[in-house]
Amino acid sequence: MPITIADVAARAKVSKTTVSRVLNGKGELDETTAARVRAVIEELGYVPSARAVNLARGRTRVVGMLVPSLTWPWMGEVLQGAVDVLEAENYGLLLFTCNRGDDSMRQFAAQVAAKSFDGLLVIEPEGTLDYIANLHARGLPMVLIDDRDQISGGSIPTVGTTNHTGAADAAHHLLGIGRHKPLVITGPSRFGCTQQRTDGFLSVYADAGIPLSADRVMLGDFKVGCGVDNIRQAIETGIEFDAVFCHNDLSAFGAMQAIQESGRSVPGDVAVVGFDDIPMAAHAKPALTTVHQPLREMGEAAARTLLAHFEGAPLPNRPTIIPATFTVRDSTAA
């Protein structure tokens, strides 16, 4: 049987509280007593539970992470970035998803109440921002990955990317290859990134003397189906287009599918650009030109920010922005 703190206390003829104080260096102890306890610990080969020691010190050395679902195609990159930083500093990760809706959030709330982790990384699940902001206001250290906190006025520290500039780069590229009749398939309007990507793209075309009419900006939901449906609708209504800028890669895959099904070619008839640069983008047919989000770097930066706070650094009061880059592939090749 494993040696317990009770065994040490009995052999040293002290209380378990005294043994705990010796282990954690807390409280004033008679040096003779402390030496006797340390000798018994060595004699018995007692190894204290890391979790018990950390809890006694008021720390778990565990970081929580709340995400909508692990099925999001870029989630793995963000997670890996966070885990790389946490493991290097001997922290664990406690991962929560919202796959079961309210049941998932009740389970998460129970872990918050039990103080099972020292701080929280968040990719905000749908409809939870008010609850998350309340946890932050009550003192739970956290960092939001992506830009959802813009909706709550920027109260939570955030790590994001250059959505506006990335979309502007896409527009400059399409103009550079002579595409003057683009469609835009957006993300959900409630997301800050959707507005930034729309503004960045439209401003470049407007500055070039080619303002885009409202019917060329089509609402999407970041899924393959919205790319398919919006392209079919544009063809049915007779909108002429020679390019499509999609706010994520999945909708770009759908757009390419619908374009090719209509008998048109990509990129010959229609050039297509996505956003994210998920691993599948390089293997699409044709390979997808896209704005590369620094997903792993965003996970790393968020984790570093939280760990620095544990060591006494204040949480930043402005977003941490990691620039996006532009990756040209076959879907826009001349």
Identify the residue with better confidence: 32 or 329. Answer: 329
Residue 243 forms beta bridges with which residues?
182, 271
**Cα–Cα dist 58/54, whole Å:** 6
H/E stretch holding 200: helix 192-207
- The average pLDDT across 28-52 equals 77
**Among 146, 163, 173, residue whose Cα is nearest residue 289:** 173
**Cα–Cα dist 324/327, whole Å:** 10
Q: Which pLDDT value is given to residue 49?
A: 59
**b/e for 196-205, b at 16 or more Cβ within 10 A?**
bbbebbbebb
Write out the residue limits of the CATH 3.40.50.2300 domain(s) in the chain.
62-161+295-322, 163-293+326-332
Question: Which tokens sit at 67?
Answer: 């995400």
Query: Is residue 209's pLDDT more than 90?
Result: yes
Cβ 300 vs Cβ 139: under 8 Å: no
Write out the residue limits of the CATH 1.10.260.40 domain(s) in the chain.
5-56
Look at the domain 5-56 and name its fold: 434 Repressor (Amino-terminal Domain) (1.10.260)
Q: Is the pTM for the entire model greater than 0.85?
A: no
- The average pLDDT across 314-333 equals 93
**Cα–Cα dist 10/25, whole Å:** 20
Q: Which pLDDT value is given to residue 274?
A: 98
H/E stretch holding 145: strand 142-145
Calculate Rg over the CA atoms of the chain: 26
Banded model confidence at residue 183, pLDDT cuts 50, 70, 90? very high
Q: Which pLDDT value is given to residue 154?
A: 60
User: Yes or no: is domain 62-161+295-322 CATH 3.40.50.2300?
Assistant: yes
CA separation, residue 300 to residues 184, 198, 221 (Å): 31, 27, 27
Look at the domain 163-293+326-332 and name its fold: Rossmann fold (3.40.50)
Q: Which pLDDT value is given to residue 16?
A: 84
Q: What's the gap between Cα 175 and its chain centre? A: 31
**Cα–Cα dist 276/170, whole Å:** 12
Residue found under tokens 């040293």: 12
